[in-house]
Structure 1
Amino acid sequence: MPWSRIKPDTNEPDFLANGQPESPDSRRVSYAEAINEALSQALSLDPRVFVMGQGVDDPSGMFGATRGLHLKYGSERVFDTPLAETALSGVAVGAALGGMRPVYFHNRPDFLLLAMDQLVNHAAKWHYMFGGTSCVPLVFWACVGRGWGSAAQHSQALQGLFNHVPGLKLIMPATCFDAKGLMLAAIADNNPVLIIDHRMNFKQRGIVPPEPYTVPIGKGVIRRAGKDVTVVALSHLVADSFAAAQELAAEEGIEAEVLDPRTLRPLDEELILSSVARTGRLVVTDTGWKTGGVTAEIAAMVAEKGFASLKAPIVRVCNPDLPTPSGYTLERAYYIGKDEIKAGIVKAVRGA
């Protein structure tokens, strides 16, 4: 198996939270380039891998993530698909059951709702329904929009919905390093994996090793150490939470510990619980809705397994339970960020 030769790596060489100096030989690439490199290396390593999706062979290449791959690997392994998510998701599931390793790119997670039957009723269940004799090694990737009026039907953060499904692994990267390592880990995995990304991540540039490596699925990381409160953040809110923590340390003397779970299913419960045991307080922030969402699950897990450690009520910072509005001013009022996270941290620490 070619995947056995890839070295797992959990030590990110460059994130603004770790305080490590940048080495002279560090190679900095964009978020899109990190994903593109992961896909290219997967296609090169394993002939069973192919990439499909609407616009993967366009000049823009799915926000740059798939740019040029069809020229390098041919249209049989990197190809555009029609606007038929239900049918094409079935094609991906069938290909995976037949021994291939498809990577299906969706422009928006909103349209994954058309693929729910294939993902939830088939891909996530086959391994269990057939006593472990069948595997469905496929990757679905979708990107949440923000900042250009993408509105209610093109910017939904549906991770809470998919987090409910057993048998489906769920990843939400926050850095260039993880975007590459988690993509390679997802393609190598024998289970169906959903990666929900965010357009805000594509503004990043980070240090990414050129060689193939994987970031273990289900292993989170501490982005900033602190003693007063634990902040569990997802996707691009990891950077916002770190910035909030840095400012509060300087302004208020509050030292927040920022955790990046990296994956939601499986969730690194040990990392979260051990941090809460040290700080006694918890703030959870997510790009999705509050009711029945990811923050609710993480809060419930801590209340169930780490209640004795809590010194104050858990604080959740999420987008409002409303369809996403369109337009610059409405979006600014709707989306959460650094300021809302700062307020949540202060509330958890001081009760105000």
Structure 2
Amino acid sequence: MTNVVPLQHGAGDGSTLSIPIEGMTCASCVSHVEKAVAKLPDVAKVSVNLATERADVAFTGKPDAAAVVRAVEGAGYGVPEITAEFGVAGMTCASCVAHVEKAVNAVPGVNAATVNLATERVSVRYLAGVASLEDLEAAIRGAGYEPHRIGGDDAATEREREAREREMNGLRRSLLVAAVLTLPVFVIEMGSHLVPAINDIVMNTIGMQTSWLIQFVLTTAVLFGPGRIFFKRGVPAMLRGTPDMNSLVMVGTAAAWGYSVVATFAPQVLPAGTANVYYEAAAVIVTLILLGRYLEAKAKGRTSEAIKRLVGLQPKTARVERDC
């Protein structure tokens, strides 16, 4: 891979891009490239080195790698382009896709980035020597997601499969714990509303205040046990100004839980007749979202395996008959 030359601060507020160029053969080629790039706005200086086949472009403002590439290609020369593919962990919705694409496309030297939510992968076309794999990984991490490089060897394929299995097993465990803790909360609260007999049993045995305390303990365990993943991912996304589905779940469940906590332990601060609890809403939301995540992970795993089987069907060799 071509050596990476990062953006460097130059004179004034501008920066310098070092871009590799293909097809130059003489001093005339150098002159053509320099003239073409020098016409771009915000370009302060252009220096093309025939020996290294690179163009150093100093800008007065923000560097525009795409404009330089267009100018070079317009002069009849080429800029090497590389296609890379990354796996991206942590994406859950279309908003996540948009965040990753925006972050990667913002890297200087990236021509295009396409994210596939189903396969949890991002395909990137970028300029050799301007952007690097490390730059792309840093951009993905900066957006709040975890990248991993896709390899073509069996070891890389096995690592990817193991990662999917770990994710699925973790979701299964979280779902089971959340369901076990949520069921009593749902029965105590919603059962009392729907079935008079359940309400009579609760009121004649533990009483309303004790039932609220039990719901508080169980719901807190759900939110900050299996449901902590929504807070772990949702809060940073909110702070970055790029809320996603995790942020939505976090805000909804925290609001229901927080209001219920006030109604349980400090009902006097609420208007008369409004001291009600909604623990079951917070617990059920977390459980249902975890169920959806688990089913989604299973579907993604099956999709990935199906694609691999289809790829495996392609012939390894072909027989060509000529002059038949």
The normalised TM-score by structure 1 is 0.21
The normalised TM-score by structure 2 is 0.22
Q: Which has the higher contact order (CA 8 A, sep 6+)?
A: 1
More helix by share: 2
More strand by share: 1
